[in-house]
Chain A
């Protein structure tokens, strides 16, 4: 008997065939509400220098671990931008639209500072304040740094970060260091001006509008210079890259090498969000975004000495809450100006220390479970599973209420977070309750199982028909511990011949806008 054929591998059916089956067995609808967490590296304290761990451990965008537990907020004080990108359209603001660069209202630095205090008092796990636009924070330096100054005086425990296209970065590195901004994100989509000319129609530089390769050359030079200046000063840098199939998808491997060699801490490759209703150049030209497996393959190929971030939710420049949830509607300018805010540092710290205890328990449970997983049994096999969670690292969301699923890869190295899939209903019309189950299945079609706190009979049958096993026996347990236990059981069932291991197909990445925030 050939050793390589320990498992029967059945080739997955094409997505459309599966959808046909689902149509025949019409499932129940889901309504989405509530939210989840997610932005960062999957590494824990064992893989990191202590001083770096200290910087990232409660930053949801820099630590995958932290994103289950801590929240961030963005304040939209920076409306102006100094470059034009083909994936951005600033004019669009559907109330429930969710893309970077879109906000409902802009704030003055004083309003922003008040909002931060109001949010920090209401959400004790809010540990990070970022300025991410809706334009470029460094194209609005006075407003950006005034906001940091006000917040560092009133809420000194909150970490400050900003996100920039990098064009103006070298001019502001000294100021960034002076305000103790210890996390900076630079969006780098290319290092080759030929590629850049396809992404950036123009930049505003030295009082001129510069176009084409010349513009892209200036931009990439400034980005790399800024990155080097930041890492020299010990400021953690995350690189965001938008994956645009056919334009920079292959090239991002080169970008990854370029930023790694300049000391970037984390690389976040995000899928292009592109739909005609966004009114962007790419949306209108029909430029597609990547599929879930195309994105994962690129992220996997860049993973090496550098951490890859897979939990980015591409949030708005006025987002509030855990990653994946948005509580900004609770904190509109009108509401915060009426709030009587008392900043209670002590109760925030008490809450956060309780969170740390929970995290330690979670890690211990995962390690204990890992010891039961024997490498021989795994035999090179790996599967993906989807998880419905509201945060805290537990399986604690009802299938029908999930607005996104977190995806874990199970292999001989245990359970690894590899991404998330949004399944909320879209603005693009035609989607109703009846179709939402189809949306979910398309989004997690590459998964073998879905872990939920609870699930109705109807969607259960639809999932089984699509070849996805619904699992509710680990309700409210820790995600990773449960996933490893499931994997051990899965391997045993495959070995005994009870089930056949099926190589799953691809899945869709959400493109449209939210209609339920």
Chain B
């Protein structure tokens, strides 16, 4: 799985962009999007996903179940 941003709720504040440890977030057509190929759900980096923690609108950065769960290298998780 990866995280995704609910476009209709995004205020475009860009706070998540700077916090993402994977540089997976960028601006597209006025709101921010997460590249699911780069998203690691912050596993191995932080206790909680940084986009979720910093986003000013609750339930805007959410799990996208259409992607398989991220597997850290070495299979620690």
Contact = CB atoms under 8 A, between A and B. Distances in A.
B54 A90 contact: no
B13 A209 contact: no
Contacts of A48: none
B54 A82 contact: yes
A80 B14 contact: yes
Interface string B8-21: 01011111011100
B6 interface: no
Interface of A is mostly: loop
A135 B15 contact: yes
B18 A91 contact: no
Interface centre among A134, A207, A209 (most CB of B within 10 A): A207
B15 A82 contact: yes
B57 to A, nearest CB: 6
A139 interface: yes
B15 A81 contact: yes
Interface in A130-188: 134-135, 139-140
B62 interface: no
Given A90-B13, A135-B15, A208-B47, A81 B53 contact: no
A251 interface: no
Contacts of A208: 46-48, 53
Interface string A326-347: 0000000000000000000000
B50 interface: yes
B56 interface: yes
Contacts of A134: 13
A79 B53 contact: no
B56 A209 contact: no
B11 to A, nearest CB: 5
B54 to A, nearest CB: 5
B13 A207 contact: no
A204 interface: yes
Interface of B: 9, 11-15, 17-19, 46-48, 50, 53-54, 56-57
Contact of B56 (A84, A140, A207): A84
Contacts of A140: 14, 18
Top-6 shortest CB links A-B: A80-B15, A209-B53, A79-B13, A204-B54, A90-B11, A207-B46
Instruction: Categorize the interface residue count of chain A.
Output: 10 to 19
A444 B67 CA distance: 60
A29 B57 CA distance: 40
Interface in A354-390: none
B57 A91 contact: yes
A26 interface: no
A79 B12 contact: yes
A172 B48 CA distance: 26
Q: Is the interface of B mostly helix, strand, loop or mixed?
A: loop
Nearest to B45: A207
A81 B46 CA distance: 20
Nearest to B47: A208
A106 interface: yes
Nearest to A204: B54
Given A79-B13, A80-B18, A91-B57, 16 more contacts: A79-B12, A80-B13, A80-B15, A82-B54, A84-B56, A90-B11, A91-B11, A134-B13, A140-B18, A204-B15, A204-B19, A207-B19, A207-B46, A207-B50, A208-B53, A209-B53
Nearest to B18: A80
Nearest to A80: B15
29 contacts: A79-B11, A79-B12, A79-B14, A80-B13, A80-B14, A80-B15, A80-B17, A80-B18, A80-B54, A81-B15, A82-B54, A84-B56, A90-B11, A90-B13, A90-B56, A91-B9, A91-B11, A106-B12, A140-B14, A204-B15, A204-B19, A204-B54, A207-B47, A207-B50, A208-B46, A208-B47, A208-B48, A209-B48, A209-B53
Contacts of B57: 90-91
Contacts of B11: 79, 90-91
Contacts of B17: 80
Contacts of B50: 207
Contacts of B9: 91
Nearest to A206: B46
Q: Which of A80, A204, A209 has the most CB of B within 10 A?
A: A80
Interface in A69-126: 79-82, 84, 90-91, 106
Contacts of A106: 12
Contacts of B56: 81, 84, 90
A281 to B, nearest CB: 11
A204 B12 contact: no
A209 B17 CA distance: 16
Contacts of A204: 15, 19, 53-54
A91 B8 CA distance: 10
Nearest to B60: A91
B48 A81 contact: no
